[in-house]
């Protein structure tokens, strides 16, 4: 036949021949490369049967083009479906003999995990809840009085300078510790008090292996009649044994404006096991918290009778505690959002 006398019947016959030849050719392709060659022959956009058939549509009578176009699209969709079905059969998982080892384990999918600092904080809260502590919270934007004055900081203390503290205005700072919540709690509730205070704090610290400008902190406060330093040491030692397991601890004298006497608590470095490294600054120990008996002036600032009541407090950073527990050498790793690192803590 010639193009001049192409009829709908002739075009339909060409479509049937095309489908009868193309579908078996695709089903019989033995490899992905062979299938690509078959696709180019029958479905190629530059040269191929389908392109030739598409061109012949314009040679039909106008009255026949609608029916011919519908038949053309139906055949095209069936042939393309045969192509995709064969492509799936030749995928690496199916073509075990040449493209993949069927005994290989499936690729693990990432489903998310609790951040190691959040894991540590949750466990801390659970341990102290067993000891009768409840949770207390407070604002991250504080007045200088709550952040410094009520906590017995002298007016000329260097922590109040711009190089240490982030000021929003003359009367507002980003809290540098969670200790202001101690004062707010003592103002709101009468002793006995036993609270745990988690939250974020902010300082003008350099971002290095052991410091971050914004980090999580958790603080504890106990106020009652007859509280002594022995209660503090027994409680924190119990926490360290529960949290770190069979680890060594030590208390060192220290100074904080809001406690007297004051002490820092260390645990044996989990990175070097006490031999000395960059994380523990060659000391073999990692400081995990500061603590002490609540200074009488702090109790008085909150309206609590310091002659009747005593108390103790501590503050620690879950980030550093996570480093000590898991042997993490650089605190910046905790802030990188690297899935390769975080996936190790998936439960």
In a domain, 76, yes or no: yes
Contact 260, 299 (CB under 8 A): no
- Do 236 and 283 fall into the same domain? yes
Helix (H), strand (E), coil (C) string for the chain: CCHHHCCHHHHHHHHHHHHHHHHHHHHCCCCHHHHHHHHHHHHCCCCCHHHHHHHHHHHCCHHHHHHHHHHHHHHHHHHHHHHHHHHHHCCCCCCCCCCCCCCCCCCCCCCCCCCHHHHHHHHHHHHHHHCCCEECCCCCEECHHHHCHHHCCCCCCHHHCCCCCCEEECCEEECCCCCHHHHHHHHHCCCCEEEEEEEEEECCCCCCCCCCCEEEEEEEEEEECCCCHHHHHHHHHHHHHHHHCCCCEEEEEEEECCEEEEEEEEEECCCCCCCCCCCCCCCCEEEEEEEEEECHHHHHHCCCCCCCCEEEEEEECHHHHHHHHHCCCCHHHHHCCCHHHHHHHCC
Contact 92, 309 (CB under 8 A): no
pLDDT digits (tens, 9 = 90+) for 71-86: 888 888 888 888 888 8
pLDDT at 111: 67
Confidence of residue 146 (pLDDT cuts 50, 70, 90): very high
Share of the chain above pLDDT 90, in %: 37
- Do 49 and 152 fall into the same domain? no
Q: How many domains does the chain have?
A: 2
Domain CATH number, residue 268: 3.30.930.10
In a domain, 134, yes or no: yes
- Do 49 and 145 fall into the same domain? no
- Do 128 and 271 fall into the same domain? yes
Per the structure, the complete domain to which residue 202 belongs is given by: 116-345
pLDDT at 299: 95
- Do 154 and 28 fall into the same domain? no
pLDDT digits (tens, 9 = 90+) for 252-293: 999 999 999 999 998 887 667 777 777 677 888 888 899 999
- Do 231 and 322 fall into the same domain? yes
- Do 121 and 186 fall into the same domain? yes
pLDDT at 346: 67
Helix 116-130, helix 229-244: angle, nearest 10: 130
What is the C-alpha to C-alpha distance for residues 119 and 322, in angstroms, rounded to an integer?
A: 9
Confidence of residue 108 (pLDDT cuts 50, 70, 90): low
Contact 224, 192 (CB under 8 A): yes
- Do 245 and 322 fall into the same domain? yes
- Do 167 and 58 fall into the same domain? no
pLDDT at 132: 92
Partners of 293 in beta bridges: 312
Q: Which of 89, 107, 129 is a domain's end point?
A: 89
Q: Which of 89, 108, 134 is a domain's end point?
A: 89
- Do 32 and 158 fall into the same domain? no
Partners of 315 in beta bridges: 219, 290
Length of the chain: 347
Q: What is the overall mean pLDDT for the chain?
A: 83
In a domain, 77, yes or no: yes
Contact 255, 154 (CB under 8 A): no
Judge if the upstream peptide bond of residue 261 is cis by omega within 30 degrees of 0: yes
User: Which tokens is 61 given?
Assistant: 């009578």
pLDDT at 270: 67
Give Cβ neighbours of residue 27 (< 8 Å, ≥ 6 apart).
82, 86
- Do 238 and 319 fall into the same domain? yes
In a domain, 97, yes or no: no
In a domain, 102, yes or no: no
Half-sphere exposure of 118 (CA within 13 A, CB side): 8
Confidence of residue 23 (pLDDT cuts 50, 70, 90): confident
Answer whether residue 224 shows pLDDT above 90.
yes
Candidates 40, 61, 60, 65; CA nearest to 51 is 40
Q: Quickly tell me which residue has 């042939």 as its tokens.
A: 79
Partners of 249 in beta bridges: 267
pLDDT at 45: 66
- Do 144 and 227 fall into the same domain? yes
Is the entire prediction scored with pTM above 0.75?
no
pLDDT at 51: 75
Give Cβ neighbours of residue 342 (< 8 Å, ≥ 6 apart).
113, 115, 116
Confidence of residue 141 (pLDDT cuts 50, 70, 90): very high
Q: Which of 89, 104, 137 is a domain's end point?
A: 89
In a domain, 104, yes or no: no
């Amino acid at each position: 036949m010639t193009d001049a006398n192409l009829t709908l019947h002739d075009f339909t016959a060409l479509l049937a021949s095309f489908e009868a030849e193309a579908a078996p050719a695709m089903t019989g392709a033995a490899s992905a490369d062979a299938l690509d060659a078959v696709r180019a022959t029958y479905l190629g956009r530059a040269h191929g049967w389908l392109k030739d058939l598409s061109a012949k549509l314009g040679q039909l009578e106008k009255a026949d083009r609608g029916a011919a176009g519908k038949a053309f699209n139906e055949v095209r969709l069936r042939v393309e479906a045969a192509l995709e079905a064969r492509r799936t059969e030749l995928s690496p998982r199916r073509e075990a003999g040449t493209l993949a080892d069927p005994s290989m384990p499936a690729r693990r999918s990432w489903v998310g995990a609790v951040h190691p600092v959040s894991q540590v904080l949750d466990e801390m809260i659970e341990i102290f809840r067993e000891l009768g502590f409840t949770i207390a919270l407070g604002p991250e934007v504080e007045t200088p009085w709550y952040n410094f004055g009520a906590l017995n900081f002298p007016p000329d203390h260097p922590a109040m300078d711009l190089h240490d503290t982030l000021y929003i205005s003359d009367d507002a700072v980003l809290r540098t510790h969670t200790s202001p919540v101690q004062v707010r709690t003592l103002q709101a509730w009468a002793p006995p008090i036993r609270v745990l205070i988690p939250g974020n704090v902010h300082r003008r610290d350099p971002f290095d292996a052991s410091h971050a400008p914004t980090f999580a902190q958790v603080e504890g406060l106990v106020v009652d009649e007859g509280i002594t330093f022995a209660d503090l040491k027994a409680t924190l030692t119990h926490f360290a044994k529960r949290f770190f397991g069979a680890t060594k601890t030590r208390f060192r004298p220290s100074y904080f404006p809001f406690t007297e006497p004051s002490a820092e608590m260390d645990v044996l470095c989990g990175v070097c096991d006490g031999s000395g490294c960059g994380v523990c600054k060659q000391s073999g120990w990692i400081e995990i918290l500061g603590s002490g008996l609540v200074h009488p002036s702090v109790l008085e600032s909150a309206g609590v009778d310091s002659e009747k009541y005593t108390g103790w407090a501590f503050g620690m950073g879950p980030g550093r505690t996570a480093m000590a527990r898991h042997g993490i050498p650089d605190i910046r790793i905790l802030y990188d959002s690297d899935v390769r690192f975080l996936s190790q803590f998936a439960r």
